[in-house]
Structure 1
Amino acid sequence: MNDLWVFGYASLMWKPGFKFTEKRRARLSGYHRSLCITSWEHRGTRERPGLVMGLDNGGACVGLAFKVAPNDKDDVIAYLRERELVTNVYLERMGKLTLDGGERVDGLIYVADHRHEQYAGRLSVEDAVDRVCGAAGGMGPNEDYVLNTADHVKSLGIKDHWLQAVADNIRKRSS
């Protein structure tokens, strides 16, 4: 089988930006969704960095898997590399995804590089909210990114208590 599966756990869930033939709920073991990447391109600047999601070591992450047709594979990979590897804070890997229904497939994933200067590590809810609120970059306000991700995670019935706590506290600050 020459199909490519791409794992989305944050903005790829609500704004994939590439052509796909199928979208399924999926689980990736060994990594969890985390606001662990300092952003000075898409959701912040060098002067006022924001935070974006990364797949960080440990646990498991539930998100969406997108199936890409063989004819679109090269274009999708080129697009994802341009989008995800702007500052090389992510490592491109293949991971084992378990699709809803139990089928296991190999999927393209982007994981946080702990050695990169933009790796922020594990943050408290309060620290994450402080960094997100007021930051904005080329793709817009950092709050929008976090709230969109949290809303999509919740709408899929995925439990992510830490992310929901961050989103709730962002909403409290902006009200």
Structure 2
Amino acid sequence: MWVFAYGSLIWRPGFDHAGQHRALLRGFHRSFCLWSHRYRGTPEQPGLVLGLDRGGACHGVAFRVPGREAAEVLRYLDDRELPDGAEVVYHRRLVPVRVLDMPGTVVPAVAYVVNRACRNYVPKLDPAKAAAVIAQGIGQMGANRDYLLNTLGHLTQLGVRDAGLERIAALLPAAQGAA
């Protein structure tokens, strides 16, 4: 089984895997398109989280999971991305992912794609507005700013540029307490 990571799964997968590879998914792009009222914000001060939205292309990581561990990894990922009792913000899908260090190799990978029908979906948010929200958001998983910067930093380590995330990061106000 393969799992496509485009956000925090890149730097905090939370499951064992037999390999990780740079990968490309066509037909979707990475976007701060979901309000977060728990993980990266609160109901009073929402944050934003990433989703795979329609259109474009997305570079990320494809994790290879041994077949004997696939069911356990899917349970873990569903618990993480589709928590019981919460609004369904993602749909689990199999998507064709090109494994970039294995020329000509395209694999079906599990990916969590944004549910455009959920009330937390916010399409085409202006980068300045996204930066202002991200600068203020703090939730159960920590600061929204850290989520953005960790994702951007790990993409950079992979040799991936994401102009949209870079633009939002450049618009963040200076961190409080910074000199």
TM > 0.5 fold call: yes
Residues 104-156 of structure 1: CA distance to partner in whole angstroms, max 9, x if unpaired?
10000101111100101111210100111111111011110011001111221
CA distance, structure 1, for counterparts of residue 163 and residue 106 of structure 2 = 26
Tell me the matched-pair count.
171
SS of 1:133 mapped into structure 2:
helix
- Matched ranges for 1:30-69 at <5 A: 30-69=27-66
TM-score by length of 1: 0.94
Query: In the alignment, which residue of structure 2 is the partner of 1:168?
Result: 170
Unaligned runs of 5+ in 2: none
CA distance, structure 2, for counterparts of residue 148 and residue 169 of structure 1 = 16
Determine which of 15, 39, 58 is the counterpart of 1:18. Answer: 15
TM superposition outliers: structure 1 runs of 4+ over 4 Å = none
CA distance, structure 2, for counterparts of residue 25 and residue 157 of structure 1 = 9
Residues 12-68 of structure 1: CA distance to partner in whole angstroms, max 9, x if unpaired?
000000010010000001000000011112101111110000000000000000000
Deviation at 1:168, TM superposition (A): 2.1
Q: Does 1:79 align with 2:81?
A: no
Percent identical pairs in the alignment equals 40
Unaligned runs of 5+ in 1: none
Q: Give the RMSD, CA atoms, in angstroms.
A: 1.0
CA distance, structure 1, for counterparts of residue 33 and residue 170 of structure 2 = 18
Deviation at 1:162, TM superposition (A): 1.2
CA distance, structure 1, for counterparts of residue 157 and residue 167 of structure 2 = 15
The letter of the residue matching 1:70 is G
Deviation at 1:169, TM superposition (A): 2.1
Q: Does 1:125 align with 2:127?
A: yes
Query: In the alignment, which residue of structure 1 is the partner of 2:111?
Result: 109
The letter of the residue matching 2:92 is E
SS of 1:173 mapped into structure 2:
coil
TM-score by length of 2: 0.92
Determine which of 144, 147, 150 is the counterpart of 1:145. Answer: 147
Deviation at 1:98, TM superposition (A): 0.3
CA distance, structure 2, for counterparts of residue 48 and residue 84 of structure 1 = 21
CA distance, structure 1, for counterparts of residue 75 and residue 169 of structure 2 = 32
